[in-house]
Structure 1
């Protein structure tokens, strides 16, 4: 790096121009030195070195200014020594210090000005780089972007607001030309390539664009309302039409600046979401078809479930009717026994009716009404419903009630049917195995603050290894006349309420099925 490049700054396009200022400044300093030293002119000639400094400031760097200032000060001292020497008086000395003071002040001011100039150049350079980056992003991004001049539109809307208008839609109903007038106030500043590809060169240059303005006046009025209310952004789905007449659905986003002066360049973006919306529509239609198919499948499963579940109450009605006839055939008829049989028939008929009503509710609505259920009372009622089967199979039921078991929010008829299924399966398993000891133990406990566990254990042969993995699979059964729907429906019913059903073998023998219920449905979801 040369000395000239260190001293001279590239202020102007030509380095020669800077060098000319430097030469003139040096020449002027030399002339001032000669006049001050070799002439009899009285006065503070050395103060004219300030002019040389001002000329040097046009081309010198900070280092160059310091060099020139030092040189001028040295010339001032040299001239003073050559002309006055030992004969200097007070007046000449004051002139010397006055000239040096002027040089010092001028140098400091010029250095400060140079610092400010450098800062200004740095800021300008940063702004230029930022503008270049913004322009590069604006032009090259694949998002359709516009720069719009909304300054006239905002000014008009503020005038309308000043008149007391708050609801722009109501104002538009009274003034039908408002939309067209406001659209004409929007001017296009720039549009990127993606904008031209999205709408075409004609539409991309319009204010909103105009095709979207005509097709969606409500959305345009919403944007005007956002400007009036001082919102920072406006975003909505709008329908636009391209130059080729193709309709597209786009996501329109307008970034509204906080500074009113910045409304001259408002950035508007559009993202084509036509294909996405078509895909969402197709998915919704597919989901609707799937829902129909699922409900048809559920209806089939419910039919199988009803056939399975109604066997017990209908069979009990038949048996009680036969018993009632036998009591009537006696001489004399045993009327109290007849009454008991009739009451059991009524009870089992009501039970069958509840099953049908529950199936109807499930088919018509995915959610049944929840109720607060006392599990102890529910188990007692279930055992009473199973009284005939238990007596016929000589099966004892033992219930262990843990203290302080809270009530649960569930559908009573569903939970009761699950218990009946489990108890019926236990009776049938013990009958088929010819077990000498036949008992069912039902226990309740609260494993944590959110759940209740009900366990139904029998003294049968337990669950075979081949059946363990498929125990809850639909249509899987180990019974010769079974349909394989009972356990599958029980598990699905409980899972729909946030519960769980598991089956395993007890270490002391027999099978045990555990029902886990959330005390409250919201606790399960939490």
Structure 2
């Protein structure tokens, strides 16, 4: 695109235009040519269009028209003859038409420049460049923002797939190359996120979205957008870390609320260890020596020690600050571990637990600590919902089943006061709680955990009493983790 010429830079071109117009005027007045000399003023208008805007072009055109009319009575021969008049009219009309066409072209060019400037600014604000190419290995078209995203200077290198790959993270190069080759081979668009490795060692993230275009002289090519998603990706990572920290704090808070029952759960086997330890000493005493009974009692000591150690391990696992780790999860085993941890707490609340576990469930991909937190929260919420129930048994049903599409389903059903429609709509909102001393974050965190696993958590009224909370996890083939 042509750039505006400054006032200082217009001086010499303006002198040149005046000299050119004066020369044509002199030829028109002095030389008895039998052609329309005035038509040469069209060149003056064209030269003016490269320097001035629409107003300058109009002034140049009017000046040429004036010179043409002034030269008519001064030119050799009879200026009022039939052919002289026709010749002059041709010149005047030619200059007028040329001036109008040049002004119209200038308007189009100005509009195009404005459009391009807006596009450049919009792409820079949106951190989105454009790219297009006909041959996977051939030269591409890159917009200015695409050059910036890949941190090349226009003209520094040819815009090709090789230039893209040079900036692509080594672990992602083969994927990008195969994706582009497949798109050309199958004549289809693609969407791909991958990493860039910059010369300064920084790792950035881009998303390329393309489609097949057939508008280039009947040839198929690919056009697309290159989006710099580094800021969004880092923000998402920060959000995930913040959610992980919040979930850990919530787990710690829950453990604090269960401190009494957990202490009882640990104290029971430890009491057995102490008692059986004294018994072992008794059977090893010289006067009451009985090795068989001592061995049996020692085995009970080991069993109680393992039981106490298991409780501690489960609590430690829930409170440990570790990044999410996707492993194969046995849902029935996970449910059983949570119920073992809460058995004393539920017994103290007079809650009877029934399990409806589907046999032979496949393994599902997930983070065991996070999923334990979800089940733990749902079970405690179910027990809380039955705290004021006195006219019927407090029954909590915890179960699992396999969905129609192979997904895993876990449900917790209580026989409490239930949920009305308004509560169902709000219960997963942050800081909404039906408990007198609740924070209103437990179910919000649970839903975010399940959604991060590619699943869904929802609540519904249960029949004839209470509420039911269910979540699904996709099968391993469709897991997001």
TM-score after normalising by structure 2: 0.46
Greater share of residues in helix:
1
Structure number with larger C-alpha Rg: 1
